[in-house]
Chain A
Amino acid sequence: MEVVEKKNKNKKYKPILEDIPDWPVYQLSKNRKEFIEEVAMKAFQRIKEVRPTTKHVIDELEATVYREQQRMKRNRWRVDPEDEPRFWAGIKEELVALASKTPEETQVKADELLLRIVSRYANEIAGNFKPTSYRFTREIVKFWFGRLLNGARVKKFGAIFRNRYTLRDKIHIVGKVKHLRKLASQGTVIMVPTHFSNLDSILIGWVIHSLGLPAFIYGAGLNLFNIKIFAYFMNSLGAYKVDRRKKNVPYLETLKLYSTLAIQKGAHSLFFPGGTRSRSGMIEKQLKLGLLNSTIEAQRNLYLDAKPGEEVRKIFIVPVSLNYHFVLEAPDLIDEYLSAKGQDRYLPEQDKYGSWQLLQFLFKFFTKGSNISVSIGRGLDIMGNYVDDDGNSLDAQGRVIDTKDYFLSSGELSIDKQREDEYTRMLSQKIVAEYHRINRVFASHLVAFVAFEMWQKKHPKLDLFGLLRLPEEDQVLDYEEFRATCKRVRKQIYQLKDEGKVYYATHLKGKIDLVIRHGLENVGIFHLKRPLLLNKEGNIITKDFNTLYYYHNRLVGYELEKFI
């Protein structure tokens, strides 16, 4: 029997902007061509600022061509355009031909090549939001998920056509929902969720829709577009493409300007500041600063561009924490983490997922009792100050702050890159703190954490890798002892909640035996080898220490170890 989640109060939200043509993302895609040109032009100017002489530009171009050709040789993907080799070979030829030209000709030509490259990149990056395909995807998802859910839950023939359960029963959205809706109607929202699974983007897409928010633009890893099913979803959700293989300056500047300009134009945006999925299962501690930096830059530009007395559209950053019992890729992720950390002390097994495995997972997910919760955090301004429902930034004492003041130097708005880099660092620390605060502890996190830490405590001399190779006969925990420890740690989690440092799911309350049962049943529920289960004697054992470690990591950073 299942420990029942408190009756879900999630309700359906009306869209805050009725018609898709009002959505900023639609405006952006309608003027796609002009927008891409603007991005390319600005990126071109920016690169010319950092590479002021013709020689610099040519060096940069040569480096770019070299890297691109290396990438095509070593690591070509299905999504890569077919004309790519031709394009770069052409650029290379023209670069070589420069040697015989006069300096004036060279400069003109080099600029032209640079512009051609950034234009190509801007086109590659740009998303393609189409209202029709957005609506279609939305309906498909709603319909089929609904069928799956009902067919699986209500075990009667014909139930598959009922509407007793909806996605909202499966995915709990908690936290500052109304606040978010208010912010989205008066400013530009940048949603920054934690990142654990490839499913996150779909999940967030659904959340955004079901909260009645217009579609967000979103930078998705180009690798995801290799999987066709994802590619379809993401194209229709307004995703733009981020290719992590391309590390050259023209690409990075173009990418950055794309997001900065889109934010400046008021497009709500979504990005995962952790960069990639958390390999260890820990909540992100280090964030990628590039995109956060472009947020700050966008806000500064909005202030700079405003006419005197004009109301400036504010940018709000909304941290979101995604909480799972089960992460499909957990065994792979933790393998990658451990092999990076342990180097030769650790040998991973290889295993990959394609569309089919994902569908299988989705089916399992909807047919079995594993819930997901999404916690929406309170909105922050670009400096990490909390904002109220009206979008005013507040200081710790609740006084209103004028965000513009952060960009003033002796009374004047000024551009200071170093200052903004520092602001970015401060903002990222604030977001990390918010992740920990809005994180929602599940029973499965609790049992995984307690079990792993108990084993660690029993073998204090073993380092992580020693512990992961613990002989099987030692991989047993006495249930009574385990139960008492869970209780102690849970008490401390209650305490942390009272101090405003974390949240927990409602199912964490109640009889500890039931909570443990719920945790054991759900932790890594669909893995072939379960991270935690009971043996015949009723004691705790593990079949997969690595994934246990992964799920345990979710609660690292709260100093709960002291209560083991």
Chain B
Amino acid sequence: MSLKSLSDDKPVGVIGAGNFGSAVANLVAQHRNVLLYARDEKVIRRILETKENRGHTMHANITPTTDLGRVAEQCEVIFPIVPSAHFRTMMKQLSPFLHPYHILIHGTKGFDITLPPDQTLESVDKLTRDHVKTISEVIMEESVVVRVGCLAGPNLSKELAAGQPAATVVASHFNEVISLGKKLLRNDRFQVYGNNDLTGVELAGVLKNIIAIAAGALKGLGYGENAKGLLISRGMVEMVYLGRALGGNTTAFLGIAGVGDLVTTCNSSLSRNFTVGYNLAQGMKLDQILANTDEVAEGINTIKIAKKCSDYYGVRAPITNTLYRVLFEDLPMSRALSYLMRYPLNVDIDFL
């Protein structure tokens, strides 16, 4: 098997020096040399000079680079961790350097959308699985790489940077990829689980962003723990429904990438999506919020996409739909909440 490879001195690639990218690079650097790709020369210089990036102290085994081709040539295992909006573009640049022996494990929680020409997410009348792709599907479409995996789970970058205990799921159809992911990421403070439902885990990681925004909103409205418990459990049900419509299995949502990640994001004021919801409930408008943040809150796009998909596939998704109206149709958050509380649905669990 592939285990002997791990003593290899071949470096491991990480693409994207954002918050999570830096955290993953640091985790891997404890086992292997890491080539960290960043688009921005300034980031490279900063890492070289100060060993600091976004609040992470970068491990000595990490070499930053702006050369994508070099990453593909020197590394067989690559962790691409760039925002979903840029993922396909990045893959197109990387693809010419990739071969079927490469293994890609991505850490991006978002969807990729391809729309017909001259259409936008707002104008398009229906959104189906033909338009909405998970990140692993983008990798497979744009390159010859088939051994693909993803990382998902409660992984707040700031806590990882502080070396607090946490866990992640490596999901892949290939056991080879899972065991490799485990070997590369695991340490005394970081547990790694495997899952074969790649699509389910990806979907769980993406859809939980919706509920995270809702959790922020509850906090912003000043509500307490009962409300949060209600939201998490109903949010979970909604994720399962949406996830199944989009091709995942129920079980992935019950694991680290589902419940695990959901509880964390809903409790953490550190998360970007949570902050968006919080600010919304405080009365800020979406464009104001966006102007104030330098990182992408994937949840906003996810709400748009999930709403259109739930329309097309006829899935009941009250939380998503209501948030959509708050974000894009100026429904005040307090009205949205009272609407949800009166929503005529009282079966607890009907999907198991």
Q: Which residues of A contact B (CB under 8 A)?
A: 383, 385, 395-397, 399, 401-403, 405-406, 408-411, 414, 416, 418-419, 422-423, 425-426
Considering the complex, give the chain B residue whose CB is closest to the CB of A401: B144
Q: Is the CB of A395 within 8 A of B101?
A: no
List residues 122-165 of chain B with CB under 8 A from any CB of chain A. Answer: 141-144, 146-147
Q: A409-B1, A419-B174 are in contact. List 10 more A-B contacts (CB 8 A).
A: A401-B99, A401-B100, A406-B100, A406-B101, A406-B146, A410-B8, A411-B76, A414-B2, A416-B2, A418-B175
Residue among B10, B144, B147 making CB contact with A395, cutoff 8 Å:
B144
Q: Is the CB of A405 within 8 A of B176?
A: no
Q: Is the CB of B176 within 8 A of A418?
A: yes
Q: A408-B101, A409-B2, A409-B5 are in contact. Are A423 and B175 (CB under 8 A)?
A: no
Cα–Cα, bound, A410→B173 (Å): 19
Q: Is the CB of B1 within 8 A of A414?
A: yes
Considering the complex, give the chain B residue whose CB is closest to the CB of A395: B144
List residues 301-318 of chain B with CB under 8 A from any CB of chain A. Answer: none
Q: A395-B144, A397-B95, A414-B2 are in contact. Are A405 and B101 (CB under 8 A)?
A: yes
Contacts of B141 in A (CB 8 A): 396
Contacts of A401 in B (CB 8 A): 99-100, 144
The 8 closest A-B pairs by CB, nearest first: A410-B5, A405-B100, A408-B101, A409-B2, A405-B101, A406-B100, A418-B175, A395-B144
Q: Is B55 part of the binding interface, using a Cβ–Cβ cutoff of 8 Å?
A: no
A426 → chain B closest CB, angstroms: 7
Q: Is the CB of A422 within 8 A of B173?
A: yes
Q: Is the CB of B100 within 8 A of A402?
A: yes
A418 → chain B closest CB, angstroms: 5
Cα–Cα, bound, A402→B98 (Å): 11
Residue among B4, B95, B146 making CB contact with A426, cutoff 8 Å:
B146
Cα–Cα, bound, A414→B76 (Å): 15
Q: A419-B174, A419-B176 are in contact. Are A405 and B99 (CB under 8 A)?
A: yes
Cα–Cα, bound, A410→B2 (Å): 7
Q: Is the CB of B2 within 8 A of A383?
A: no
Contacts of A409 in B (CB 8 A): 1-2, 5, 101, 176
Q: Is B247 part of the binding interface, using a Cβ–Cβ cutoff of 8 Å?
A: no
Contacts of A410 in B (CB 8 A): 2, 4-5, 8, 10, 76
Considering the complex, give the chain A residue whose CB is closest to the CB of B141: A396
Considering the complex, give the chain A residue whose CB is closest to the CB of B2: A409
Contacts of A419 in B (CB 8 A): 147, 174-176
Cα–Cα, bound, A403→B96 (Å): 16
Q: Which residues of B contact A (CB under 8 A)?
A: 1-2, 4-5, 8, 10, 76, 95-96, 99-101, 141-144, 146-147, 173-176
Q: A410-B2, A422-B174 are in contact. Are A402 and B146 (CB under 8 A)?
A: no
Cα–Cα, bound, A7→B100 (Å): 45
B291 → chain A closest CB, angstroms: 38
Q: Is the CB of A399 within 8 A of B96?
A: yes
Considering the complex, give the chain B residue whose CB is closest to the CB of A422: B173
Contacts of B100 in A (CB 8 A): 383, 401-403, 405-406, 408
Contacts of A399 in B (CB 8 A): 96
Q: Is the CB of B174 within 8 A of A418?
A: yes
Considering the complex, give the chain B residue whose CB is closest to the CB of A409: B2
B314 → chain A closest CB, angstroms: 16
A321 → chain B closest CB, angstroms: 23
Most B-side CB within 10 Å, residue of A401, A418, A426: A418
Contacts of A396 in B (CB 8 A): 141-142
Considering the complex, give the chain B residue whose CB is closest to the CB of A426: B146
A559 → chain B closest CB, angstroms: 11
Contacts of B99 in A (CB 8 A): 401-402, 405
Contacts of A414 in B (CB 8 A): 1-2
A-B residue pairs in contact (CB < 8 Å), sample of 12: A383-B146, A385-B144, A401-B99, A405-B99, A406-B100, A409-B1, A409-B5, A414-B1, A414-B2, A418-B176, A419-B176, A423-B146
Cα–Cα, bound, A413→B5 (Å): 12
Cα–Cα, bound, A254→B95 (Å): 41
Contacts of A408 in B (CB 8 A): 100-101
A416 → chain B closest CB, angstroms: 6
Most B-side CB within 10 Å, residue of A395, A409, A426: A409
A451 → chain B closest CB, angstroms: 28
B297 → chain A closest CB, angstroms: 32
Contacts of B176 in A (CB 8 A): 409, 416, 418-419
Cα–Cα, bound, A425→B198 (Å): 15
